[in-house]
Amino acid sequence: MISDDWWPETGGGPVHVKELSIALAEHYGCTVDIYTRQLKRDGKSYSSDEQYSSGKVTVRRLPPCLPYWNPVGRLTSMVTPLLPLLRRDYDIVHGHSFLPAVPTRMSGILTDTSTVFTVHGTALTTGVGREDSPLSGFKRLIEKQFIQGFDYNATISVNSEHVPLIQESQDNVHAIPNGVDCDRFSVEADRTEDILYLGRLTSRKRVSDLVDAFYEIMDEYPGTNLKIVGMGPRREPLEEQAESLGIGDRISFEGRVPDDSIPHYYATAGVFVLPSAWEGHPLTLLEAWASGTPVIASSVEGIEEFVDHKRTGYLVSPKSPSDLADGLRFVLDNPDEANNWANSAGNLVRNEYSWERVAERTFELYKKIS
């Protein structure tokens, strides 16, 4: 496995790679090396290798040790995995978007190793919410080249919506969604009426819409507070937004929290909200479902494929704080119905989205191409 992202930089990508690797090791006897970057954050270095599943899964961090967004670190990450890939006799090299596309493709050219590339989101769409800055536009062009211009033995999309787009340039494309550790999120706790957002604080997540929606309904529900868990470049603007609206006392910015406390946040929330402008297949959605927490989410790519409106969650128009406010009213006014959605979603996630099930589908693909 090759992943550009790893802890302490959190997100769905590292969780996907780690959990899939562990499931492949424990259920299918695979030995997995995960190549990723050494990282530096807040003066602390994260450079040590790690092992899981009794040593069957090894995380191998490669130098240089630099902050995540350092351009030298990002550029070298496209080269440093090549030497160990060439030295070891792997059956499969599996890259995860988007910079690992380069060493994944190069390993296929330089050896006879079969290659797989997972697209966690795609630059092939230009739908609502795509950031329009010159830098993000340039990034999308590069990512598009990595998807369309490189050949892999198989390509995986985490949602079905992107499969036809990827098939325009790739012959062997499969939709295999994310998974979730249901046992980890099966936590007993007292529910509150609090509203929860958990994830990166970036523009495409549209957390500002949630703040505006909460401002619209907060006086109607005096016992309800908004908890925002996560870090990102939009944290300071969001805090300023809350203060300008005079609702700072009803919104708590929790920042980065320990992994073992995340299930408790879901378990105590009255509703989880995902107001994103677009997604691949959000792990937070699966985590909320595994926790039995009702979900409100925007009806956009990467979400509407998975959420059945008023059956497993409540869908609202994207970029519409007023629609989001109406969704919050509905859930808070109809807790029994919302809990029924959560129960249905919990059954769905246990049957379809366990990491064992994801590993089964991935391993079957490996066997076909190796």
User: Among 131-145, 266-280, 282-296, whose mean pLDDT is lowest?
Assistant: 131-145
Beta-carbon count within 10 A of 245 CB: 15
Answer whether residue 7 is part of any domain: no
Same domain, 131 and 211: no
The answer to the question of residue 117 being in a domain is: yes
Q: Is the pLDDT of residue 40 over 80?
A: yes
pTM: 0.87
The count of C-alpha atoms lying within 13 angstroms of the C-alpha of 255, restricted to the half-sphere facing its C-beta, is: 2
Q: Phi and psi of 312, rounded to 5°? A: -125, 5
- What are φ and ψ of residue 279, in 5° steps? -145, 170
Per-residue pLDDT at 99 exceeds 50: yes
Instruction: Give pLDDT, residue 336.
Output: 97
Q: 3 in a domain, yes or no?
A: no
**Any idea what the CATH number is for the domain that residue 308 is in?**
3.40.50.2000
Domain extent at residue 291 = 195-352
Q: Supply 46's token pair.
A: 């994260």
Q: What is the pLDDT of residue 141?
A: 77
Is the pLDDT score of 280 beyond 90? no
Residue 40 lies in a domain: yes
Co-location of 338 and 360 in the same domain: no
Is 241 a member of any domain? yes
pLDDT at position 12 is 83
Residues 162 and 18 in one domain: yes
Regarding whether 332 and 359 lie in a shared domain, the answer is no
CA 200 vs CA 48, 86, 205, 234, 248: distances in Å: 25, 35, 7, 9, 20
Same domain, 160 and 251: no
Residue 357 — φ and ψ, nearest 5°?
-65, -40
Model pLDDT, residue 122: 65
Residue 359: strand, helix, or coil: helix
Evaluate whether residue 186 is within a structural domain. no
Those residues whose C-beta lies under 8 Å from the C-beta of residue 99, and which sit 6 or more positions away, are: 4, 74, 77, 78
Query: Count of domains in the chain?
Result: 2
Q: Is 105 found in the same domain as 55?
A: yes
Q: Are residues 126 and 157 in the same domain?
A: yes
Q: Are residues 348 and 358 in the same domain?
A: no
Given a cut of 70, is residue 134 above it in pLDDT?
Answer: no
Quick check: helix, strand or coil at residue 361? helix
